[in-house]
Amino acid sequence: MTSDAPVIAARNVWKLFGADPKKYLRKMPSGHSYDAIQADGYIAGVKDVSIDVARGEMLVIMGLSGSGKSTLVRCFSRLHDITGGTIEVDGQDIGKLRERDLIDLRRNKMGMVFQSFGLLPHRTVLENVAFPLEMRGQDKHTRRERALEVVRLVGLEGREDYFPRELSGGQQQRVGIARSLAIEPDIWFLDEPFSALDPLIRREMQDEFLRLQAMLGKSIVFITHDFDEALRLADRIAIMKDGAVEQCDTPDRIVLNPATEYVRKFTEDIDKARVVRAGGLIRDGLAGDGTPVEATATVRDMARMLVSDTRETIPVTRDGAMIGALSRNDALSILVGTD
């Protein structure tokens, strides 16, 4: 993490669909609800969203279909032109970029993975992966070298000459991932990359993805409608409904302190013990002694200790340093599911 400035900074972003959205937005009274906008003949794809993506962070945007998550991510890359607000990428307002500069930005900084892969059917695996490099005008030899490297990275060695149609869904998405990585982007957008895959493969691909991320450390915006997936991967989760972000926070805080009724309903069925970590349970003014627990341990990880231990408070450490203490009772009630 080289700097604290966010990679993507979105301020009051609006994306309306309809006849003349810009004019409508200018005249619209503030605080208009999604339904009120719809009654006027417009669809609020993104409704007044302000959100930052920190460098090296994995932000997961989640919501049901039609909640605007795909639209939002397409605004980040300017696949959609936004109706109102600003989006800055590395401090640059992308709404003001000229066509040429936008193309440059995409050629050098951004990669995107799509739900149904978006592979070019007439190109082989290798040609698909090399496609962004080709667009950039790199020579054939360099292109091939780099493409081979990425293909190896995603574990598709030996299939370079296959056509997309000859691959399974999971393999096709590996091609999609490889293609998005070919230009070594700083920002990586993934639009429900594993939703089209069956559950077993999905799990495998998530592990693969975590492995890649541990290696590459990109800034990531990841879209999913699957809460378990979000919890598995996210540094932070943004929950969207009707185009607006309901809550954006770390997984355990979302589970422990849902900001709205909608988020509470969403998190209701989640096994909190798997999500909440010791670090999130620290309470001010508490101190304890004895064997500490690691801040990253989930309540589930500590279950045996929590039940057999007799201490009221348990100290918490992060990277060897004491950072506070948690109440054993708090942790136990999460474990048994009574709030």
Partner 1 sequence: MADATMAPAPASGSGEVSPQRFALILVGIGAALTVFQYLGLLPAALHRLPESMIPPFAPMLDVAFNFVKDDLGLLTFTRWLTGGLEAVLDATANLLFGKRRWPNIGPIPWTAIAGVATVIGYYLGGWRMALLAAFTFTWTALVGQWKIAMETMSVLVVAAPLAFIIGLSLGILAWKSRAFNAAIKPVLSVLQTLPFFTYLLPAVIFFKVGPTAGAVATTIYAIPPMILMTTLGLQKVSPEVVEAGKMSGCTKFQLLRNVYLPAARTEILVGVNQVIMLCLAMVVLTAFIGMPGLGAKLLAMMGSFKLGRSFEIGVTIVLLAVTLDRMSKAWVVMQPRHFERGTPWWKRHIILLTAIGVFVFFCIVAQFIDVANTIGRRQSLSMGKEIDTAIKAFLSIDVVKATTGFLRAFLNVQVLIPFRNFMLSIPTPALILFVTAFALSLAGKRQAVYAALFFSLVALSGWWDRSVITLYSVISAVALAMLIGLPLGIIAARSEKWSHRVLLACDTAQTFPSFVYLIPAIMLFGITDIAVIFSILIFAMVPLTRYTIEGLRAVPAEMTEAADMAGASRWQKLVNVQLPLALPTMAVGFNQAIMFAFFMVIIAAFIGTQDLGQELQRTLAGTDLGKNFVLGICVSLMALTFDLTILKWSSDRKRKLGLGD
Q: How many CA atoms lie within 13 A of 125 on its CB side?
A: 25
Closest to 114 measured CA to CA, from 269, 6, 255, 222: 222
| Separation of alpha carbons 290 and 311, rounded Å | 9
Nearer to partner 1, 110 or 273 (CB): 110
**Closer of 189 and 266 to partner 1 (Cβ):** 189
Give the interface segment with partner 1, choosing from 26-34, 74-82, 250-258, 294-302 (CB under 8 A): 74-82
Site membership for partner 1, residue 165 (CB under 8 A): yes
Window of 102-110, 204-212, 232-240, 302-310 that interacts with partner 1 by CB under 8 A: 102-110
Q: Which of 96, 37, 47, 89 is nearest to 67 (CA)?
A: 47
Q: Residue 111, interface with partner 1 (CB under 8 A)? A: yes
Q: Is 225 in the site for partner 1 (CB under 8 A)?
A: no
User: Can you tell me which of 24, 34, 163, 262 binds partner 1, judged by CB under 8 A?
Assistant: 163
Pick from 25, 44, 46, 112: which binds partner 1 (CB under 8 A)?
Answer: 112
Residue 31 binds partner 1 (CB under 8 A): no
> Residue 262 interacts with partner 1 (CB under 8 A)?
no
Q: How far is the CB of 132 from partner 1 (least distance, A)?
A: 4
64 near partner 1, rule: CB under 8 A: no
- Cα–Cα distances (Å) from 332 to 152, 166, 313, in that order, read 46, 51, 12
Q: Closer to partner 1 at the Cβ: 176 or 288?
A: 176
CB of 285 to partner 1, least distance (A): 50
d(C-alpha 134, C-alpha 127), whole Å: 9
Stretch in the footprint of partner 1 (CB under 8 A) among 52-60, 161-169, 295-303, 331-339: 161-169
The residue among 99, 74, 179 whose CA lies nearest residue 134 is: 179
Helix axes 125-136, 140-153, angle to 10 degrees: 130
**Is residue 107 at the binding interface for partner 1, with CB under 8 A as the rule?**
yes
DSSP letters of 152-185? HHTT-TT-TT--GGGS-HHHHHHHHHHHHHTT--
Place of tokens 């409704």: 47
Give the number of C-alpha atoms closer than 13 A to the C-alpha of residue 273, restricted to the C-beta side.
15
Residues making contact with partner 1 (CB under 8 A): 74, 77, 79, 103-104, 106-108, 110-112, 114-124, 131-132, 134-136, 158, 161-163, 165-166, 176, 179-180, 183, 189
